[in-house]
């Protein structure tokens, strides 16, 4: 009986410590609209960037991050639900968050005459 009581005490203590680790950390999700092609951009280095539609400014903008578990197929406009995870602030030359695909909400064929400069969104 004493063994069971000690085991339960250890188990409750471990659960409490695990809960403290996650306390205050809410899962943060966002929706992104990706354009049908990547564009060359320069952040910490030259790379291909996704183009993301900013609904506030009504413009396409460079998106410098990689989206884990997402396979981009050119020619489509995607609406994605992504989960953001805060990175260690000590890591240099990366954004504040890493992005992880939750699901593809929509994948629509882009028009042949699609042009980012026209700020098209379909």
| pLDDT tens, position by position, 38-64 | 999 987 789 999 999 999 999 999 999
Which band of pLDDT confidence, cut at 50, 70 and 90, is reported for residue 91? Answer: low
Q: Which two tokens stand for residue 23?
A: 């306390």
Instruction: Assess contact for 43 and 95: CB atoms under 8 A.
Output: no
Q: pTM here?
A: 0.70
106: pLDDT strictly greater than 50: yes
């Amino acid at each position: 009986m004493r063994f069971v009581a000690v085991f339960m005490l250890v188990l409750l203590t471990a659960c409490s410590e695990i809960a403290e680790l996650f306390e205050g950390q809410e899962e943060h999700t966002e929706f992104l609209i990706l354009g049908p092609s990547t564009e060359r951009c320069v952040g910490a280095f030259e790379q291909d960037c996704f183009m993301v539609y900013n609904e506030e400014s009504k413009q396409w903008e460079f998106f410098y991050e990689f989206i884990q578990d997402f396979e981009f197929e050119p020619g489509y406009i995607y609406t994605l639900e992504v989960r953001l995870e805060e990175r260690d602030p000590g890591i240099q030359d990366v954004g504040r968050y890493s992005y992880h695909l939750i699901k593809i909400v929509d994948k629509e064929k882009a028009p042949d005459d699609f042009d980012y400069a026209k700020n098209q969104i379909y």
